[in-house]
Structure 1
Amino acid sequence: MTDRSRAPEPTRPAPTAVRNVPALLLTLRQDGFTGSVIVSSAPGGTIHLEQGLVTAIDTPGAPAVETLLLKSRRVGEADWATAGTTAAAAPGPRAGDLGAALVAQGSIGAAELETVCAAAVFDGAFALVLSPPGRWEVAEAAAPAPIALRPGIEPRRLFEETARRVALVTDLWGPPGELARRRIRPAAQAESKAPRIPGRYRDILLAATGRRTARDIGFTLGRGLFAVLLDLVRMDARQLLHREPAHPAAAVPSVAPRAPHTGPPPAPAGPLPRRTPGRRGPEGRGGPAAPTDLTAPHHLTAPPGRPEGPAAASDDPPNDHRAERTETTEETEKSAP
């Protein structure tokens, strides 16, 4: 006899059931999935999930919790090593939980560790969307992250915050992916202005050797990629930086979850319009774009009217308007990890 009281096992989404990682994460959230999603792109990474909530993101594109704690000297090397040994020997559900070991031995407070873990998750998601997406796979038996945010972040909340960050950098400077690829060095006049600028700007100037990108500077200083990019925008407005030309790359992808069309096929629209030579309108290139699903989370692309090409990242000195706008956002973004 079949036990009807037993709930059916949740089904994992097939690779063809969703068309991008955000849609996959929403599906996994509905299923209460625990495991990881491995994204193959440049730089790619691993998204850790517990009950469908995002608890950690490991990516070469942004500093992880370990880098944020050690490079910023919140936690010393010796304390980190001791906690690693304790976590490895811990019994039961605490086995391998490096974060719990750090808190238990007094190396860092629970609230501060939670803040750093949350910052690393948001920063990892921001780094992932700065390059075109690749393939992905779902791994149910994957090992959990050694330091994780619990209970985790709702995927939709992650999409919204990532979209806000991309839109902010785009509005102040241009496509964030292009800025992230620029190698930075101090401008000629930066040394004379150094005594009058914040200490974190001076740290960036010291780390900016002309061979490092914003990611490299973040790893060197133990700061998040997004926070470094914001400071680079502000420093650029003060003419403190020289940016080396960036290599071209594809446009930033969207994080709006998309599902396959399941309705009836559209009705025939008649013959194709004839293109008139020299005309750019509805009958040729540059005609109206397809409608956007406004019910989906924000797209991680530049707002309408912002250029996506190299013109958006000119090496010309910033104008006064940009300098004023960066100053007005500085106070509200100082807390960015």
Structure 2
Amino acid sequence: MRIVVTGGAGFIGANFVHTLLNDHPEVDVNVLDSFTYAANESSLTDITPEQAKRLTITRGDVADMEIVDEVVRDADAVVHFAAESHNDNSITGPAPFIQTNLIGTFTLLEAVRKYGTRFHHVSTDEVYGDLELDDPAKFTPTTPYNPSSPYSASKAGSDMLVRAWMRTYGIPATISNCSNNYGPYQHIEKFIPRMITNRLVGIRPRLYGEGANVRDWIHVLDHNEAVWEILQRGTIGDTYLIGADGEASNKEVVHMLNEIMGHPQDDYDHVADRAGHDLRYAIDATKLHEELGWYPSFTSFREGLEETVRWYTEHEDWWKGEKERVEAKYAQKGH
């Protein structure tokens, strides 16, 4: 089986590539990645010589129709992770989010339509907007879209493009919307790795507002196992929500990380809250459980965090070179 993984040098995509190479020897992988700041080629180097024979890396933009046509032509499936995904960046500069998340998805859809290729579109729960902190409800596949940021709006638009191409052109596609991921290879501008790496270099962690905002956390390996199940056995035309019942406030996450790394719970600073900061995300993954029998392996969020702290501690060479640049960017914003 030949699978194109867009964004395969980014956080979730790189972990998916490792899952394929480690657990599915029948699969050859072609990574299509433009290697923006959020991608890291070293995320794909920790493989065996035999695995390397099954891995091709194509440098190119998902919005480049010529390159996309070339990689999709011989593929059995495309798993589309590639996206601009950082909310802060979308607020200060939304243009790349429109280009990659909308134009890029359109370009891929036209290629899979041309060749009849199986397509899986990886999206986010942020397309649904947010829930009140005291609301018992969770997002389901039928929750109306209500995006809050340029990022989530661009992902909502990309989901709608996939749905339209499925209905109008009959492309064989599925969609998944996942909650917040954490784990190895996540760029250090993101919340959890930034907290961890701040501690490791001696910077006191910082928290938006009061930290009451709640996210539904899932380990990236669980996310990718769910994507594989959907790719293999999901119903064409359907949407699946991927979550691990890992709701925790940002404040609780910082408290846990401080404890894990040997600091008092309250050893952090508050900074001004993000504009349009969503209150709460929560995923109802019942459909995925009942239809495909998928359940998360990381059932303890704290244990997953402990493993993630170990990974960043042991892989300083992977992130250290970027740390100064990331912190300088946040300092310009007063964060």
TM-score range, shorter chain: under 0.3
TM-score with structure 2 setting the length:
0.26
Larger Rg belongs to: 1
Higher percent of residues as strand: 2
